[in-house]
Amino acid sequence: MAETADYIADIKKYTASVDEAAVGGIVRHLGIALRSKDASLVAATDPEELKRVREGFMKKKLALTGSDAELDKKLGEVMTAMKGVREKSRVTVCYLLAEKTGNLGLFHPKK
């Protein structure tokens, strides 16, 4: 399992600044999924995997209410930004989706 610093370094490849508290929150949210190498990655060419990201993360966790086509477009934009990376980190994908939709605050520790 990668360390939070590894996830931060990966995210920095795609965005100007990284909200480290949000990265920690995403790592906590994904929890056990990050223990398996296969589950810690997003298979961009697998329609079922992309559907899981849309349904489980975008709709449930981020509470996005757009149509499937709108959500798939946002997810497609993140996949395009990560094009050329064979093993796409689930943490990075989730972070970029949360950032793109203005939802990084959902992952900040509760006070």
Written as six digits, the tokens of 69 are: 């086509």
CA angle 7, 14, 61 (to 5 degrees): 65
Which comes out higher in pLDDT, residue 111 or 40? 40
89: enclosing H helix or E strand: strand 88-89
Burial of 49 (0-12, 13-18, 19+ CB in 10 A): middle
Task: List, for residues 42-80, the tens digit of each pLDDT value.
Answer: 999 999 999 999 999 999 999 999 999 999 999 999 999
Cα–Cα distance, 52 to 59 (Å, whole number): 10
Class assignment of domain 4-107? mainly alpha
Stretch 17-21: mean pLDDT, rounded?
95
| Residue given tokens 């996949």 in the structure block | 79
Separation between Cα atoms, residue 39 and residue 20, nearest integer Å: 22
20-30 and 90-100 helices, crossing angle to 10°: 120
Strands 88-89 and 41-42: antiparallel
Show me where the domains of the chain are located.
4-107
